[in-house]
Amino acid sequence: MSARIGIVGIGHCRFGNSSEYDLVDVIAYSANDAFRDAGGLHLRKEVDQVLVGNMAAGMFNHQTSVASALISRMDMEPCPAELVENGPASGASAIRLGYMAIASGMADVVLVAAGEVMRVVSGWEATNIVATMAHTEAEYNMGLTLPGFAGMFTRLYMEKYGMTERDLALVAVKDHDNGAKNIYSHVQLPVTIEAIADGENANVVNNYVAEPLRMYSTCPISDGSAAVILVNMDSPKAKLFPKKPIRIAGIASATDTHCVHNRKDPLVLDAVRISAEKAYKMAGVGPKDISLAELHDAFVIFELLNSEEVGFFERGKSFLGVRNRETEIGGRIPINTSGGLKAKGHPVGATGVSQVVELVRQLRGEAEEGRQVKDPKYGMAVNFGGFGNNVVTTILAKD
């Protein structure tokens, strides 16, 4: 029988501007928060493996060997520790590898901590660093950035399916409303559709970032960290943790071509669809069983397309679901109850772990008033690396 693996501790700092702090301290903050949630700092000595998710500390912070530094900062020697880098999917990849470590029998307790401090550089420099995920010769050297890709992607979708800029703004309004209630959000400010989208009535700055994407269609540049503690639910060590675990029912990943132009249809995100299918199969559930989802939305178009690829909506119909308020809290399938990357923020390496922390909070019934989904059973997270070329899907269950 395969191991049952659950999450017994979660930690998170508020996303935003942590540039005055050292990256390792920022990650350690959430790691210690997870141990306190799990039952106490003394549980650090029970950890068999530490995995750290981070995308670009070498470029943002001129720092490498982040996992080794974290071990010493938290006084956890000689625990094994490794860094996991998979672009913006680094956090979820670290959780997946933690799952694999326990499932293999090599560990019973794993700490996964992830973080990024990006605001030590300018916005243009951060955009450039993130753009290094693209193919060097065919994309990056041609001046393509992730906002540029997302703008072209959004235009293709609008022309094919009839979505409007106002539909994009409706997603932002929903996410900002959720984020305003989330104590961890970078942007805790609700907005109205009239303020950001309705022509002459608009009264806030909402300039184009990469036409047709405007400022309110993109995530902020954020600092922050998140952490989870995984345990083999059938091991003797599980008894050391007082909280009932939230089980990892399914976790899977998939890849797509590095160069977007090599795909048969740029609007089809095969890695999202395949990773979701594998996670559904592992969990023994389908799209209709999911109570809520955290879908990677560095640009709001990703929330829409991801929701189609995982089976919540037919292709080309997700924006109609937003119009009908199906993705709001209380709707048919609440999406990005945390505020998503759009409002909660996107410290790239931390995002995948942060998504899972949100699912745990919801499944425990610990989300803030006005943000809690009623009686959730299954939660899904999709963490999107590159431009959809390396994706991790996680399904959690409240047993």
Q: What is the dihedral of CA 9, 50, 290, 318, to 10 degrees?
A: 120
Alpha carbon 335 to its chain's center: 12
In whole angstroms, give the CA distance from residue 336 to residue 262.
30
- In this prediction, the residues of the chain whose per-residue pLDDT falls under 70 are 1, 199-203
Compute the Cα dihedral for 335, 337, 342, 347 and give only its sign: negative
Q: Which strands make up the sheet holding 246-255, listed edge to edge?
A: 81-84, 49-53, 109-116, 224-232, 5-12, 246-255, 390-397, 378-385, 292-295
The parent domain of residue 66 ranges over 5-121+221-240
Residue 261 lies in a domain: no
Residue 65 lies in a domain: yes
Amino acid in position 290:
I
Total count of domains within the chain: 1
Residue 126 lies in a domain: no
Alpha-carbon distance values, 137 to 125, 140, 142, 387 (Å): 19, 6, 7, 16
Q: What is the pLDDT of residues 282-302, one digit of tens each?
A: 999 999 999 999 999 999 999
Residue 91 lies in a domain: yes
141 Cβ partners below 8 Å, 6+ apart? none
Is-contact 116 375, C-beta < 8 A? no
What the block records as the tokens of 59 is 């470029």
- What's the pLDDT score for residue 203? 66
HEC sequence for 330-391: CCCCCECCCCHHHHHCECHHHHHHHHHHHHHHHHHCCCCCCCCCCCCCEEEEEEEECCCCEE
Residue 356 lies in a domain: no
In whole angstroms, give the CA distance from residue 178 to residue 190.
8
In whole angstroms, give the CA distance from residue 44 to residue 25.
16
In whole angstroms, give the CA distance from residue 184 to residue 14.
4
3-state secondary structure of 181: coil
* CATH assignment of the domain containing 96: 3.40.47.10
Q: What is the pLDDT of residues 324-354, one digit of tens each?
A: 999 999 999 999 999 999 999 999 999 999 9
- What's the pLDDT score for residue 161? 98
Residue 139 lies in a domain: no
What the block records as the tokens of 222 is 């954020």
Residue 114 lies in a domain: yes
Which of left, alpha, beta for 224 (phi over 0: left; psi -120 to 50: alpha)? left
In whole angstroms, give the CA distance from residue 21 to residue 311.
41
- What's the pLDDT score for residue 112? 98
What's the full length of the chain, in residues?
399
Residue 298 lies in a domain: no
Bridging pattern class, strands 5-12 and 224-232: antiparallel
